[in-house]
Structure 1
Amino acid sequence: MSGETAPQDFGTLPDGRPVTAHTLRAPGGLSLRVLDLGATVQALHVPDGSGGSTNVVLGHPDAAGYAAHADAYLGSVVGRCANRISGARFRLDGEPVQLAANEGGNTLHGGPDGFHRRTWQVLDAGPDRLVLELVSPDGDQGFPGRLVLRAVYAVAEDVVSLDLEARTDAPTVVGPASHVYLNLAGEGSGTVDDHRLTVEADRYLPVGPDGLPLGGLAAVAGTPFDLTAPARIGDRVRAEHPQTIAVGGIDHSFDLRGTGLRRAARLEHPVSGRSVELWTDQPALQVYTGNALDAAGSSGRRYRQGDGVALEPQRHPDSPNRPELSDPVLRPGGTYRSRTEWRFRP
């Protein structure tokens, strides 16, 4: 490993696996702590302009916290396929594929033993870059094909980036995503109600109470999901609308404008003046307002509903059954790639 920064002991899981943390630092003072468990962002400190810094992501305090609250997915890379797959099944090249279910009869974020629960191998670690890899065998959680997924985190000045790259030896479906929760007021400071959110999308995907698509994409105009201009999150979460009532807030996929690496969202905290732009090359952005949060926080405060917002670049939910929304199929010889950037401002 070139220029490796010393990993820190982060505790032990109930099955005896040790968890280590790696801290990346940018010249401007930004620092990122990533765990080998789940390729998880555990902390992200951004400079506050007065010589200090503030942690703006939610995380657990130790390995035991991640084991006890694994299904909060705090900061993890989830997969093989992020989001929900209806009935824990789909057809691939005409053949039925049965998956492991973990949310009712559906598969969420890769199944009961998804990538967020795995220990990833550290391939390279330096002061400002970390490379992790996970090998998912054929039949893992029911998914066909041996998949090799690599995650590369990097920091530079006021930008954090995550590159994901996957290859397979047999046809399969792939759609991992970062599940970082943000709170620009600071981790443990309460709800994100007063944050303002902009999403670069004119359409969103209505869902049922199970979070699965009801049909096709719908216009955001005239709904609480019109985030084309900055909107206070608390106002939109509590809006009287069948879709916010169905899931207790916002837990919806937005169909992003354009293609390639472009701005997907902007989150602002007016009181502190902090903001972050999320850039991605993915077709959709899942916005989740922490409607069911209830977990131990890294600062000792317990997270409750609405204490963070997850902005998850990915394919649309149930894509293996809805390829017209976004096609998740990866074949041998092909490479899945995605890039996410968090661009911070003081």
Structure 2
Amino acid sequence: MPLMRSKTSRVGSILLLSAGTAALFINVAQAQSDKEPMVNSEAEHGVTESVFGQLPDGRQVDVYQLTNANGIELRVANYGGTILSLKTPDREGNVDDIVLGFDSLDEYLSDEYQQANPYFGAIIGRYGNRIAEGQFTLEGETYTLATNDGDNHLHGGQQGFDRVLWQAEPFENDEGKGLVLRYTSDDGEEGYPGRLETEVTYTLTDDDALIVDYRAETDKATPINLTQHSYFNLKGEGSDSILDHQLMLNADVFTPVSESLIPTGELQPVEGTPFDFTQATPIGERIEQDNEQLSFGGGYDHNFVLNRGDAELGDLVMAAKVWEPQSGRMLEIETTEPGIQFYSGNFLTGDLTGKSGQPYPQRSGFALETQHFPDSPNQDNFPSTILEPGETYRSRTVFRFSVQDDIGST
């Protein structure tokens, strides 16, 4: 069922950060845009559709290929809303697939993948990242979720949004060509309260950007924190490690974690630590330093609090830049979200073999997940992630692709 327009636009918890981070944060219900996509069910205008396979219950999974005017090609499956491939040129004009993943549905459904579950390219929900001990209390009631990451709840649980079949419709609007994905999460699914109507839109523009818009409504108060979990390697998937990629994060503070990767509630300045990416730094330059936080994550697996400067609430702000010297490829990320999780592929083991026929060992891909903070339902000093009935959750993230001689500055 299509989503209704917002009845209200709720401004939630506001958090003022120190350490030079002048930042006001809103909750997920802050409106970004009322623009509606123009749905084109005939799959014209640069979008083609084909069969990807069948789920064990017989339902068909489709794959949609979007191609922009410059030849950038995006392939998306409606199983998990998964980005299967993303092909972009390097400085010599050579086109490579820059996201990790597989060529067949069977590989995504395999026991090996399901047990490891690195969430390659998937939509994450209802709640991206971790919730401590799989519990939270809302309006006086305690809710219990699956504990699928040690003692904690991770990325929506055993059957998160990455493992469901979304309804898909191709479209064209003024911004580009794309795909609208819709899924209804029933009241009580994975332990969450409320029936959640969810819509995620991928738009590939002719100025070489991938826009991801998230939208949701509920009939009962519920936490929500949607994100996209693609792993990138700007040399091309199946290439060697991402440790020489240069990274810049627009964040003066991060949220340190306990040994189980749950935020402590503190906001720690990055200055003088291995977490300082305010200037372009190779990912591998400090990843092996003797540092308790790096030890807890096995590398980087932390939420960074984005600087907003003078940006108005709900505006896009620069979150991250990544540049790969060999190919010249640049990835820039803007978001309306208050945080971004930088994950350096620490738990990849080499047991999974990707599209190129090459295994994916540790740190062969990185993820940058725009988000509200982990465990926010249990952290009163973090921006609220509670969506109320009558409100509309909206969030936007923009991934921009280019070829550059250097990373430049924020």
* Fold agreement, TM-score > 0.5: yes
Q: How does 1:199-210 map to 2 (within 5 A)?
A: 199-210=249-260
1:29 to partner: Cα distance: 1.2
CA distance in 1, matches of 2:259, 2:75: 35
Q: How does 1:237-252 map to 2 (within 5 A)?
A: 237-252=287-302
- 1:139 is aligned, of 168, 171, 188, to 188
2:211 maps to what in 1? 161
Amino acid at match of 1:46: T
- 1:316 is aligned, of 373, 379, 402, to 373
1:209 to partner: Cα distance: 2.5
- 1:283 is aligned, of 331, 334, 338, to 338
- 2:60 is aligned, of 12, 18, 21, to 18
Amino acid at match of 1:334: E
Tell whether the 8 Å contact from 2:74 to 2:85 is kept in structure 1 after alignment.
yes
Tell whether the 8 Å contact from 2:185 to 2:196 is kept in structure 1 after alignment.
yes
Tell whether the 8 Å contact from 1:65 to 1:296 is kept in structure 2 after alignment.
no
1:287 to partner: Cα distance: 0.4
| Deviations 1:143-167, CA, capped at 9 Å, x for gaps | 0000011011111131111101010
Moved more, 178-187 or 93-102: 93-102
1:110 to partner: Cα distance: 0.4
- 2:102 is aligned, of 48, 60, 66, to 60
1:342 maps to what in 2? 399
1:215 to partner: Cα distance: 3.1
The structure-2 alpha-carbon separation of the partners of 1:6 and 1:344, relative to structure 1 and needing over 3 Å to count, comes to closer
- 2:386 is aligned, of 329, 337, 341, to 329
Moved more, 15-24 or 102-111: 15-24
1:305 aligned to 2:362? yes
1:73 maps to what in 2? 119
CA distance in 2, matches of 1:17, 1:72: 23
1:182 to partner: Cα distance: 0.8
1:128 to partner: Cα distance: 1.8
CA distance in 2, matches of 1:214, 1:51: 46
2:35 maps to what in 1? none
How many residue pairs match? The answer is: 346
CA distance in 1, matches of 2:86, 2:170: 20
1:47 to partner: Cα distance: 2.3
Tell whether the 8 Å contact from 1:61 to 1:299 is kept in structure 2 after alignment.
no
Q: What SS class does the counterpart of residue 65 from structure 1 fall into? A: helix
CA distance in 2, matches of 1:14, 1:237: 41
Tell whether the 8 Å contact from 2:265 to 2:381 is kept in structure 1 after alignment.
no
Q: How does 1:83-102 map to 2 (within 5 A)?
A: 83-102=129-148
Tell whether the 8 Å contact from 1:61 to 1:300 is kept in structure 2 after alignment.
no
1:115 maps to what in 2? 161
1:255 to partner: Cα distance: 0.4
1:200 to partner: Cα distance: 0.3
1:197 maps to what in 2? 247
Moved more, 100-109 or 146-155: 100-109
Identity of aligned residues (%): 41
1:73 to partner: Cα distance: 0.3
CA distance in 1, matches of 2:347, 2:54: 26
Amino acid at match of 1:319: S
Amino acid at match of 1:123: E
CA distance in 2, matches of 1:204, 1:49: 34
Tell whether the 8 Å contact from 2:91 to 2:328 is kept in structure 1 after alignment.
no
1:171 maps to what in 2? 221
CA distance in 2, matches of 1:241, 1:55: 34
Q: Specify every segment of 5 or more residues in structure 2 that has no aligned partner in the other structure, as ranges.
A: 1-39, 404-410
2:286 maps to what in 1? 236
1:51 to partner: Cα distance: 4.6
CA distance in 2, matches of 1:118, 1:15: 12
Q: What SS class does the counterpart of residue 122 from structure 1 fall into? A: strand
CA distance in 2, matches of 1:147, 1:323: 23
2:234 maps to what in 1? 184
CA distance in 1, matches of 2:397, 2:339: 12
Tell whether the 8 Å contact from 1:61 to 1:296 is kept in structure 2 after alignment.
no
CA distance in 2, matches of 1:138, 1:174: 13
Q: What SS class does the counterpart of residue 286 from structure 2 fall into? A: helix
Amino acid at match of 2:126: R
CA distance in 1, matches of 2:379, 2:353: 36
Q: Which runs of 4+ in 1 moved over 6 A?
A: none
| Deviations 1:47-93, CA, capped at 9 Å, x for gaps | 23545411111112211221232411001011100000001010111
CA distance in 2, matches of 1:210, 1:13: 34
Amino acid at match of 1:105: D
1:125 to partner: Cα distance: 4.4
The structure-2 alpha-carbon separation of the partners of 1:18 and 1:301, relative to structure 1 and needing over 3 Å to count, comes to farther
1:19 to partner: Cα distance: 2.1
Q: What SS class does the counterpart of residue 334 from structure 1 fall into? A: coil
Larger relative contact order, structure 1 or 2 (CA cutoff 8 Å, min sep 6): 2
| Deviations 1:119-173, CA, capped at 9 Å, x for gaps | 0001334582111101000000000000011011111131111101010011111
Which structure dedicates a bigger proportion of its chain to strand? 1
Tell whether the 8 Å contact from 1:136 to 1:146 is kept in structure 2 after alignment.
yes
